[in-house]
Structure 1
């Protein structure tokens, strides 16, 4: 449970950093940021595995780079579903996927691993 809360906060931090660093990504309010983080967690749990499976041949051909497009698509789905979150095009979505991925990767080094200990 603690890990899920920490992951939610890391996702919110990544989305916040994205809105500051990537042109074309914006939030209308702080509440939109938190709703986007929650919704992105749900979309990543439900839709992303399906998209990853369906795009597996493209992912293999592009040596995994197509996963950036899959991640951008999940962020785009959240932007379509949520009024206060704007992602202005594919390149903004890819930028958002890169920034949130890097933030999650860095934070993952500091989060406790529930499989250990």
Structure 2
């Protein structure tokens, strides 16, 4: 359940980031339904990257977190979004044969950092509203 809520939150954040930032784009997606499916798949990839790879990156970069008082988290989040873009670019090559274009393209690292900030805020709000309740 938690992975599904995070996927929806990431997809909503990615939609807003793509709409606001010129350095981020979703390839193809001629219809609304294909755009939603694409954003949900990219949101799932981002949730998996954040669950599997981000903890390792945080441990490796711990001294930089301490020195920068936690601001290095912006760089790590941007790197996770760039990694998601790279993974989904590979998915875009596979999906062309299926007749559906998937993926996310992030042009610069600056766009990735700003995009990750937008995605994090929107995802936190959605996960807070839809996520499991601990009473």
TM-score by length of 2: 0.78
d(CA) in 1 for partners of 2:44, 2:124 = 18
Q: How does 1:1-117 map to 2 (within 5 A)?
A: 1=1, 3-28=2-27, 29=29, 30=35, 31-83=37-89, 84-116=103-135
Q: Distance in 1 between matches of 2:45 and 2:24?
A: 16
- 1:67 deviates by 0.4
Unaligned runs of 5+ in 1: none
4+ long deviations beyond 6 Å: none
Q: CA RMSD in A?
A: 1.4
Instruction: State the shift of 1:65 in Å.
Output: 0.8
What SS does structure 2 have at the residue aligned with 1:63?
A: coil
Decide whether aligned partners of structure 1 residues 65 and 13 sit closer, same or farther in structure 2, where only a CA change above 3 A counts. Answer: same
TM-score calculated relative to the size of structure 1 = 0.89
